[in-house]
Chain A
Amino acid sequence: MQNISVDELKSIANDLRIKAVDMIFKAQSGHPGGSLSAAEFVTACYFREMNIDPADPKWADRDRFVLSKGHVCPIQYAALATKGYFDVSVLDTLRKEGSILQGHPDMKKCPGIDISTGSLGQGFACGAGMALAGKRQGKDYRVFVVLGDGELDEGEIWEACNVCNKYELDNVVVFVDWNNLQIDGTCDEVMPLLDIGKKFEAFGFEVWNIDGNDMQQMVDTLDEIRDRKNGRPKCIVGKTVKGKGVSYMENVCSWHGTAPNEEQYKQAMMELKGAAV
């Protein structure tokens, strides 16, 4: 864990949002909505919570980060570049031929990516495997997993929950980015999720329901979780706003996977830069 204030984290989250929208604009391709909703968790993990070394991305004792909803990788790429895993200028190559920044995260190409993801529902089980390896190898690293709410439609998510419960993987911290929008509509329309927190509780998790875009709540929750080595996996259900920080993207379904045009880009930059603390 690194000492850093909530205000500094807010400022970094805003900067990561700027970088994410900027790279998606330059690529004219990518997923802004979910990148923006997950910014607080990604920032809190990379800049405060996780025990990592950008100079040694494969360090065996590092904390792991699994972006199970891999399509929001722009926000993770922004965090990795800012942390120094690669040069910030590389962000301009997102989704371009030969880039280390694939449309969905590729662990063989991009330093700092702990598992390749992109097909929804799959990353979580890999994270469980990493956490189980840590337990069996006597290591005390933790595994931070980002799940989309729509991704919870996938059956493999709940299989992975069973694994976390059975093997008492209290070194797993799952963040559910509950922005309530998926591609074909709201989660309620496409496939009602009911009470996500209660579901995870029923699967043996300790659950925190928070405002996932509130950095103070995020930090407080991660503080509370840190030393709870009680055999129970952790789940933060974060109520978030898809497209958070860019007014015209907020809560608008079509910004799931659309790049802004020139005019929209300028407005987004104006709003995000204006929000800088």
Chain B
Amino acid sequence: MSLIATRDGFGDEIVALGKENKNIFVVDADIGKSCKSAAFAKALPEQHVNVGIAEQSAAGVAAGLATCGIIPFVVTYAAFGSMRMVEMIRQEACYPNLNVKIACSHGGVTPANDGASHQCIEDMGILSTIPNMTVVMPADYQSARKLVRAAAEKYGPVYLRFTRDAVPEIYGPDEQFEIGKAKQLRDGRAAAIIANGDTVRLAVEAAQKLADEGVEVRVLDMHTVKPLDVDAVAAAVNDCGKIVTVEDHNIINGLGAAVACVAADMGKGQVKRIGIQDQFGMSAPYERLLAMNGITTENIVATVQALVKA
């Protein structure tokens, strides 16, 4: 199984999209090389803008471009794309519902050795609370490519979250993805594990270990946090009852919170959230940062086992 980062999926797909459609633009803020938009800048200079280290105007310029029929992808790190320019996204992209895409690498704690300033555990919660915004985090290279394309084809503001580190490929190139529709990777009735992004691979590994012990669980790749695939969550609540969510994001306002809201609305089921424990990170290896927050295959297995036994 080959390893490749989701940011590379973005970088490859955005070039393909740009070549097909001259209205696809990239608005960089001086970290295009790291966010993998450099190939786009080179191949399609007339569709590329670099505003420098100035995220606020990146969002504003993108909104202005969007009013003229252009589909701009603002490219930066998640920390800056979700917080430094969040009010511009709210006022100039979401409020007027313009066709602006925010494509961020380095989501979660993947910028591990950079420390807490560059890690981003708040972004999907922040952006999910803004009306008109769609929030997506792909789990691997192929799904990143497909979801970038789906974001370009969907009218309206979309936040796409990619990560730095190479992760195993889960999907083949022919797999189809729809924004707002979860992918079921495995079925079972003992419990359901709902994950997104880089943690999907952990969920898959945990499900295999559980299966080895005779516990069959459902695994959902919930790549879209908003609009949440409520039907898939409701089915998991009805079919499995017990749900474990996994995410490289604060457990407040992330995927787990969204899933728990569905169960609460139904008045059914039980949800355990695995994610960043409402604490800042530090410079440390990525796997260590995940482990500090219980985001490990072992903890997913243990959490499911405890739920199933309860």
| A interface residues (Cβ-Cβ under 8 A, vs B) | 60, 64, 106-108, 114-119, 121-134, 136-137, 155-156, 159-160, 162-163, 166-167
Is the CB of B292 closer than 8 A to any CB of chain A? no
- Cβ-closest chain A residue relative to B50: A166
Residues of A within 8 A of B205 (CB): none
Asked whether B49 lies within 8 Å of A125 as measured between CB atoms, the reply is: no
Is the CB of B38 closer than 8 A to any CB of chain A? no
A165 CA to B88 CA in the complex, in Å? 21
Is the CB of B70 closer than 8 A to any CB of chain A? yes
With most chain A CB atoms within 10 A of its CB, the pick from B46, B61, B62, B69 is B61
Is the CB of B52 closer than 8 A to any CB of chain A? yes
A119 CA to B94 CA in the complex, in Å? 13
Number of A-B contacts (CB under 8 A): 108
Identify which of residues 51-82 in chain B touch chain A, using a CB-to-CB cut-off of 8 Å: 51-52, 54, 56-57, 59-70, 72
A134 CA to B61 CA in the complex, in Å? 12
Asked whether A119 lies within 8 Å of B91 as measured between CB atoms, the reply is: yes
Size of B's binding interface in residues, CB under 8 A = 28
Asked whether A130 lies within 8 Å of B96 as measured between CB atoms, the reply is: no
Known: A122-B91, A129-B65, A156-B60. 19 other contacts (CB 8 A): A106-B96, A107-B67, A115-B63, A116-B95, A117-B91, A124-B60, A125-B92, A126-B67, A127-B64, A129-B67, A129-B68, A132-B65, A137-B68, A156-B54, A156-B56, A159-B56, A162-B52, A163-B54, A163-B57
Asked whether B57 lies within 8 Å of A130 as measured between CB atoms, the reply is: no
| B interface residues (Cβ-Cβ under 8 A, vs A) | 46-47, 49, 51-52, 54, 56-57, 59-70, 72, 87-88, 91-92, 95-97
A159 and B57 in contact, given A108-B97, A119-B91, A125-B88 (Cβ under 8 angstroms): yes
Asked whether B88 lies within 8 Å of A133 as measured between CB atoms, the reply is: no
Asked whether B96 lies within 8 Å of A108 as measured between CB atoms, the reply is: yes
A159 and B54 in contact, given A134-B68, A136-B46 (Cβ under 8 angstroms): yes
A122 CA to B54 CA in the complex, in Å? 13
With most chain B CB atoms within 10 A of its CB, the pick from A121, A159, A160 is A159
What are 27 residue pairs bridging A and B, where the CB atoms are less than 8 Å apart in the complex? A106-B95, A115-B63, A115-B92, A116-B92, A118-B91, A121-B56, A122-B88, A123-B60, A125-B59, A125-B61, A125-B63, A126-B60, A126-B63, A126-B67, A127-B64, A128-B61, A129-B60, A129-B65, A129-B66, A129-B72, A132-B49, A136-B70, A159-B51, A159-B54, A162-B52, A163-B49, A166-B52
